Amino acid sequence: MQNSTENPHPQHPDLDLYPVDRLVEVLVEDQLNAAQAVWAVRLRLAEAVRESIPRIAAGGRLIYVGAGTSGRLGLLDAVELYPTFSWPRSRAIALVAGGADALADAVEGAEDNDQQGEADLLAVRPVANDVVLAIAASGCTPYVLGALRAARASGSLTIGFANNPNAPVLTAAQIGIALVTGAEIISGSTRLKAGTAQKIALNSFSSALMVGLNKVYGNLMVDLRPVNAKLVHRAISLTMHATGVSEEIARHTLVLCGYQVKVAIVALKCGIDAEAAKVRLAAARGNVRQAMRG
């Protein structure tokens, strides 16, 4: 397997001699390749979303698996789903080689243990409706491959993300997404554009999945969890924007609806109380447009 992420960059052998302006310029410029790498596999990402929606809608979980930067990016995507889309924390699980200690410090050798990857995956009791996202810049991380092996055996849908074409993580997964970013400006530092490509891909995947699960109305984030003052203000603004009511009415209705923006929108648009709006939303599986049609 060609491991292009480890190759020295051919264009900048004297990087350490660059003045600061030039140094920042080339680092930022190279990051543009990350977005291009994700764009090139947008159809594979769409396939992954289509295959995931029915499984997750049927009660499945998202299980992210990675080591180092890839593991931390998986964790970041998982934890942000709760405040953004009210996604249950128990249904977005992140497995990182080395466990919690690896989030702040490198745990030497953890990523090389395929048996631990398999054991960690089995410990969360994967089932057929689960979706396992295996993330590895090199595409050959043993910990991730061990988890993939266990996921396939359990019948879970497996989606592999790697930054080298034809990498084992891609071929071992049912859907392989090759984010081919090539050599890094700083040789082997995949926290650079390889990591950026992974972040874009995971953001795009999980956001599209949440739209497909009726977590968005129009382009409004209407299923957020207002866990702080900023998000409370955002909930009020979203309700105002969706319904055209004043801030006072939006705030009052949200209080009656337990600060559930979707419920408040349906209640205001249909002229019904919160309980009736909840019933409509439940019947429409959370789809605001269908709920408003009754």
Supply the residues annotated as catalytic: 80, 111
Query: Distance between the two ends of the chain, CA-based, in angstroms?
Result: 56
Residue 51 and residue 53: Cα distance in Å, rounded? 6
Asked if 202 and 185 touch (Cβ cutoff 8 Å), the reply is: no
Residue 64 has which token pair? 């992210």
Contacts of 13 (CB under 8 A, 6+ apart): none
- From residue 276, alpha-carbon distances to 170, 237, 283 in Å are 47, 23, 11
> Six-digit token pair at 26?
């080339």
Residue 135: strand pairing partners: 161
Distances (CA, A) of 207 to 6, 8, 180: 30, 34, 22
